Structure 1
Amino acid sequence: MNYRHSFHAGNSADVVKHSLLIALVRALQQKPGALTLIDTHAGCGLYDLDGDDSQRTGESTQGVLRAFADPNPLLDDYRAAVQAVNIGAEPRLYPGSPRFLAQLLRPQDLLILNEKHPRDAYTLRGVMRDTAAAVHERDAYELWLAMLPTRTARGVVVVDPPYEQTDERARITATLAAAHRKWAHGVTVIWYPLKDRATHTRWKEQLRKLRIPKVMGVEHWLYDDDQPGIYNGAGLFIVNPPYAFTQALPPLLEALRAVLAPEEHRGEITTEWLGD
């Protein structure tokens, strides 16, 4: 599955991913110690919802625009982060994960971004010029391992590839295994699209075989029944999620399910532990 950020900015997957990313980092920030935040597939950092790519899919109408129309206070942090890059009541720009992470930084925290594609990396540097982020232009999986263990005692690695390559899941699995050997206590967030349950189930089994003790899977299925051959939702694997995050998760997930469910579908967001 090819999942380029610019075509899908602000869709339902982004709403879930970025809402959970905010909650995760803030849970970690309940302790004063510094964090290193690393985004291995950073993209452009900021997306025009009125641009050709976004308009071609129209997915933001079923994602961020729904979140902005919903009054649930559990989505306030997410809406505020999107509003921070916009002028006016309705969002015209959508922040990628780098801009969300930059807003969460405390003075003691570090932000490291990576984007392999030269044109996107050039755009990213411009978008992030008013932040303290370091921007790299390297192979994502090589950078992931090279940055571990992090300079600070704690950190988060966000892995959010476009899944353009047929071996993307295999590379993630292999790199995660190596990363865990170097940085067993670190927090890793792996985003993935959901197209069919069989493919996803096979990947989960491969991840279970790594025997990493604490891996939470969060799956957001949009439709009550699988829709063959199309995008059915997205999810996150989270390695070593903090207790404060997991305890606060159920009401947030229910709020997200309710606001993002397509018409005539209830949808579902589920969690499970993949470790022993």
Structure 2
Amino acid sequence: MNYRHSFHAGNSADVVKHSLLIALVRALQQKPAALTLIDTHAGSGLYDLEGETAQRTGEALEGVVRALADGSPLLDDYRAAVNAVNGDGETRLYPGSPLVLAQLLRPQDALILNEKHPQDVVALRQAMRGTPAAIHQRDAYELWLAMLPTKTPRGLVVVDPPYEQTDERARITATLAAAQRKWAHGVTVIWYPLKERETHEKWKQQLRRLGIPKFLTIEHWLFDAEQPGVYNGAGLFVVNPPYAFTQGLPPMLEALRSALAPEGHRGSLTAEWLNP
């Protein structure tokens, strides 16, 4: 599956991912100690929803447009992050994870971004002007391990690949295992698209065998029955989520499910421990 950020900016997966990333960082920031935020597959940082690639899919209509129109106060922080990069009364631009994370930085926090694609890293540097982000152009999995353990007492690694390569899941699994040996207490978020349940369950079994004790899986299935061969939703794996984050999840997940459910479908958005 090829999931380049620019084609899918502002879709339902972005709404869920960025809403939960904001909640997760806010939970970590309840403690004053400095926090390092690392994005291994940063993309371009900022996306034009009226540009050719975004218009080709039109997925923002079922994602950010719905979320902005929704009335739930639980989505206020997400809406504020989107509105921060737009003028009054318009939503032309969509912030990728780098800009969402940059908005959350406190003076003591650090932001490290990585993007290997030559064109995307040029756009990323432009989008992040005026922020304190450090930007790298390296192999994502090499950078992931090289940055651990973080220099600050606490940290968060966000892994959000396009799943272009057939061995993407295998590389994530192997790198996560190595990362745990270097940084067992760190928080890691891994985004993934959902197509066939059988393929996803096999990957979950492989991850389960890593024996990570605090491993949360959040799955957003858009449709009430699996649609073979098409995009069915997306989810997040979260290693070592803080208690404040997990406590606030149930109402947040229900608000997101309700806002994003396709016409004629209820869908599901659930969280469970991989190793209960």
Give the ranges of 4+ consecutive aligned residues of structure 1 lying more than 2 Å apart after TM superposition.
none
Q: In 2, Cα distance between the equivalents of 1:119 and 1:50?
A: 19
Q: In 1, Cα distance between the equivalents of 2:70 and 2:117?
A: 36
2:131 maps to which residue?
131
Which residue identity is paired with 2:120?
D
Question: CA offsets per residue over residues 222-254 of structure 1, 9 Å max, x none?
Answer: 000001111000000000000000000100000
Indicate the SS of the match to 1:135.
strand
Alignment of 1:89-168 (within 5 A): 89-168=89-168
Question: CA offsets per residue over residues 43-67 of structure 1, 9 Å max, x none?
Answer: 0000000000000000000000000
Indicate the SS of the match to 1:33.
coil
1:42 maps to which residue?
42
Indicate the SS of the match to 1:188.
strand
> CA shift at 1:272, angstroms?
1.1
2:219 maps to which residue?
219
Indicate the SS of the match to 1:108.
coil
1:176 maps to which residue?
176
- Over the aligned positions, Cα root-mean-square deviation in angstroms equals 0.6
What runs of 5+ residues in structure 2 fail to find an aligned partner?
Answer: none
Q: In 2, Cα distance between the equivalents of 1:272 and 1:202?
A: 16
Fraction of identical pairs, as percent: 78
Could you state the TM-score of these two structures normalised by the residue count of structure 1?
0.99
1:250 maps to which residue?
250
2:273 maps to which residue?
273
Q: In 2, Cα distance between the equivalents of 1:150 and 1:68?
A: 35
Indicate the SS of the match to 1:53.
helix
Indicate the SS of the match to 2:248.
helix
> CA shift at 1:88, angstroms?
2.3
The reply to whether residue 62 of structure 1 matches residue 62 of structure 2 is: yes
Count of aligned pairs: 276
Which residue identity is paired with 2:266?
R
Indicate the SS of the match to 1:227.
coil
Q: In 2, Cα distance between the equivalents of 1:39 and 1:224?
A: 32
Question: CA offsets per residue over residues 107-126 of structure 1, 9 Å max, x none?
Answer: 00000000001111111011
Q: In 2, Cα distance between the equivalents of 1:221 and 1:34?
A: 35
Could you state the TM-score of these two structures normalised by the residue count of structure 2?
0.99
Q: In 1, Cα distance between the equivalents of 2:231 and 2:84?
A: 29
1:84 maps to which residue?
84
Indicate the SS of the match to 1:151.
coil
Indicate the SS of the match to 2:25.
helix
> CA shift at 1:270, angstroms?
1.1
Q: In 1, Cα distance between the equivalents of 2:36 and 2:71?
A: 33
Q: In 2, Cα distance between the equivalents of 1:253 and 1:190?
A: 17
Q: In 1, Cα distance between the equivalents of 2:187 and 2:91?
A: 30
> CA shift at 1:38, angstroms?
0.1
What runs of 5+ residues in structure 1 fail to find an aligned partner?
Answer: none
> CA shift at 1:274, angstroms?
1.0
Alignment of 1:4-19 (within 5 A): 4-19=4-19
Question: CA offsets per residue over residues 13-42 of structure 1, 9 Å max, x none?
Answer: 000000000000000000000000000000
Q: In 1, Cα distance between the equivalents of 2:49 and 2:176?
A: 33
Q: In 1, Cα distance between the equivalents of 2:269 and 2:124?
A: 31
